[in-house]
Structure 1
Amino acid sequence: MGSSKERVVAVIMVGGPTKGTRFRPLSLDIPKPLFPLAGQPMVHHPISACKKIPNLTQIYLVGFYEEREFALYVSSISNELKVSVRYLREDKPHGSAGGLFNFRDLIMEDNPSHIFLLNCDVCCSFPLPEMLEAHRAYGGMGTILVIKVSAESASQFGELVADPDTNELLHYTEKPETFVSDRINCGVYVFTPEIFTAIQGVSSQRKDRANLRRVSSFEALQFSTRSLPTDYVRLDQDILSPLAGKKQLYTYETMDFWEQIKTPGMSLKCSGLYLAQFQFTSPHLLAGGDGSKSATIEGDVYIHPSAKVHPTAKIGPNVSISANARIGPGARLIRCIILDNVEVMENAVVIYSIVGWNSSIGRWSRVQAEGDYNAKLGVTILGEGVTVEDEVVVINSIVLPYKTLDVSVQDEIIL
């Protein structure tokens, strides 16, 4: 382990409103990082994992949402976890490495020996203390969390080749057109402060090239369309690829779960993964019940303390019920996320669905989907304030906010 005087900081990239369009209609009402998975905001899971890092002094959230959108959450999570969490707003997107560099003075304020960098839209068990220990043993500038995936899905991510004995990163390529490796980048890193020198080097090279290109207005026009701003630095293409094979970067492989949360369908899958993890990390958050005095609970289920669930309801597996929800008699909930102030009435059924804030599902209605997490209509989504009338069936559909459904629909997007 490291010295007790050692300091560690963590930076979590949360993106901004110009991104996350695939997360609509849910991101219309709340920043994607604050959308609840397993009853906790998405960003809560990496923050909780950071809390377990030895000698952690500070957690920064970096993004370009308005500060007011994160103010309440940052205040409450700082008090809850007894660790300083601060939101830093970018004036514009700077890229994953550029965003880190943009706030280098603040990040280095306490002179940390190590800096963790995490992406908010990653779902995994975040083995951060183990990563830090491996990183110290490697002695390089950075260590990347990696996982083995199927050869068919690898091309959707950054593929990498590492030395099987030393774990040194030998080759890295982002979303290659031809197969390189079944090991991919998980979007979780730990660096020494030398990372800032590497990022600055990329910016300086770009400035030099820009100056060299100022030969004619015609040439400048040609290059301007395909050159990036000097302060926009991507971690994968601009840092990882050039430094591979130079004994600077190493890998730490996780054998646990890992997913990327790009769509509402994947958020439902990841909610289930976090609920399953609660068995080991937070069993007190999981509901129980046998149908005698409380609802029948099957598998991993989270129910907010303020929610009212009828004893004859049957809930689970993989169900998350948020604040002030009301689940009526005989209701059946399977693999779904029920958000704040939702009412699910008598004998209604919800399967493979996300039910938005303040929505209502009528008596004997069904809201369901096939459960293909990656398909556009594989999960049914009701936006905020949607009303499904009695005895209406909604299958494989997306319903935008404040709509009323009085007839059944299937495979539709209701605008």
Structure 2
Amino acid sequence: MKIIVPMAGRGSRLRPHSLTVPKPLIPVAGQPIVHRLVKDIAKVLKQPIEEIAFVLGDPAFFGDDVVDSLTVLAEDLGAKASIYRQDQPLGTGHAIMSAKPSLSGPAVIAYADTLIRADFELDPSADSVIWTKRVNNPEAYGVVKLDSNENIVELVEKPQSFVSDQAVIGIYYFKDVSVLKDKLQEVLDQNVMNGGEYQINDGIKRMMADGRIFKTGAVDEWMDCGNKTVTLETNSKMLAFLEVDKEEQLVDNSVVLENSTVIKPCFIGKGTVLRNTTIGPNVSIGTDCIIENSSVKNSLIQNQTTIINANLDEAMIGNHVKYNGEFTKISIGDYTTME
């Protein structure tokens, strides 16, 4: 099994946090988004992963440190890491085709701006599985249309009248991904574009037209990381799951607590010092931070940041920040100083 991860976008909706760190590497509950996504997919697949292909953007932004991080991620799962570059932002289909040499055999394609919780078996009768989540407002999403045999027969983008309530979340399984590759090559050769981009859906629709069987795989939770508000919500949900699962140590043994309280669930990284402070619930703090005389809840703070005299709720704070103040709903990027 292979996993293909297109992640070349700049993550503009998550600025300023994605100005210096690619969005898929922004930590949620103590781990980068893409790391959690790939690990969770591997759990669902329940079979060995031989290769993980990452499609990155401009090397000036997705540099050697990013490549090193992704290589370690793949190797920790016993897989080979393959790195590709998407030289132009020409859509989801173009991003997948940027990894053309890896498009063979069984594979999962997953876009790196979402997290999931799921537990299901892949349908052996299916040529492809499109992972979905039931939503209350399907008109805001791309949804699948099913026939009487529960096969997917159509993909409908933001339907004005009811088609189904199963929204496509951007994770796909292909029994042989080379079939999708061939169809996407046709899309590129014929210059079939939607919204000025080459889309994965155009390749999928051609597979459906050939009679390929598509099934749904329903996830229990679908958590977006597209902007600050939903990323904080996802951080809170993930912390709650991890607290119940007990799969990870959430508060590192090196954390210093001086007259301070941690209200679970929280993640606190190595070397962080808390003085006269209450943290939590639903807070993630990176490594080597100092927080003094403060109260922080429902927030996400990255690495090597100092916070003093703060009362924070729904705050997202980047790396190397110095913050001293009484503001609450804030969004601060890297290397910012507010005193």
Give the shorter-chain TM-score range: 0.7 to 0.9
SS in 2 for 1:393: coil
The structure that has the greater radius of gyration is 1
Kept in 1, the 8 Å contact 2:179–2:207? The answer is no
Q: Where in structure 1 do 4 or more consecutive aligned residues deviate above 6 Å?
A: none
Aligned to 2:295: 349
Decide which of 114, 139, 161 is 1:122's aligned counterpart. 114
* Equivalent of residue 382 in structure 1, options 317, 322, 328: 317
Contact 1:46 1:126 in 2 (8 A): no
2:264 aligns with: 317
Deviation at 1:96, TM superposition (A): 1.8
Which amino acid in structure 2 is aligned with residue 387 of structure 1?
A: K
In structure 2, the residue matched to 1:196 is 181
1:78–1:85 contact (8 Å) kept in structure 2: yes
- 1:208-223 to 2 correspondences below 5 Å: none
1:146 aligns with 2:81: no
Distance 2:268 2:58 in 1: 26
Cα 1:339–1:161 shift into 2, 3 Å: same
Matched, 1:396 2:329: yes
Q: Which moved more, 1:88-97 or 1:243-252?
A: 243-252
Separation in structure 1 between the aligned mates of residue 107 and residue 307 of structure 2, nearest angstrom: 46
Matches within 5 A, 1:261-280: 261-278=225-242
CA distance in 2, matches of 1:126, 1:258: 9
Residue 9 of structure 1 deviates from its aligned partner by 1.3
Aligned twin of 1:170: 153
1:307 to 255, 258, 264: 255
Confirm whether residue 137 of structure 1 aligns to residue 125 of structure 2: yes
Note the alpha carbon deviations across 1:300-351, whole angstroms, 9 max, x for none.
xx224443334x42223342223322112343332222233321113x1012
Q: Which amino acid aligns with 1:307?
A: V
Question: Which one of 86, 91, 98 corresponds to residue 87 of structure 2?
Answer: 91
Could you tell me the TM-score, scaled by structure 1's length?
0.71
Using the alignment, how far apart are the partners of 2:75 and 2:335 within structure 1?
35
Per-residue Cα deviation, 1:212-264 (whole angstroms, up to 9, x for no partner): xxxxxxxxxxxxxx884xxx52113x234555576424232425111221012
Structure 2 counterpart of 1:367? 312
Is the 1:16–1:65 Cα contact (8 Å) retained in structure 2? no
Matched residue, 2:304: 358
Secondary structure of 2:164 counterpart: coil
Cα distance in 2 between the residues matched to 1:400 and 1:70:
19
> What residue is the counterpart of 2:218 in the other structure?
254
Which residue identity lines up with residue 68 of structure 1 in the other structure? D
Residue 198 of structure 1 and its aligned partner are, at CA, apart by 1.5
Paired residues, number:
332
Residues in 1 aligned to 2:198 and 2:48: alpha-carbon distance in whole angstroms? 29
1:37-83 deviations in whole A, cap 9, x for unaligned? Answer: 12111111122134443243111111214241422212322443332
Pair 188,246 (structure 1): closer, same or farther in 2 beyond 3 Å: same
Cα 1:39/1:144, change in 2 over 3 Å: same
Instruction: Provide, for residues 149-196 of structure 1, a one-character-per-residue CA deviation record: whole Å limited to 9, x for no partner.
Output: 102xx2332122112x52211221223455433111011111122112
Q: Percent identity?
A: 18
User: Is the Cα–Cα contact under 8 Å of residues 20 and 334 in structure 2 kept in the other structure?
Assistant: no
Q: Corresponding residue for 1:409?
A: none
Shift of 1:284: 4.3
**TM-score, normalised on structure 2?**
0.86
C-alpha RMSD of matched pairs (Å): 2.8
- Could you tell me how far apart the structure 1 residues matched to 2:326 and 2:195 are? 51
Which residue is 2:28 aligned to? 37
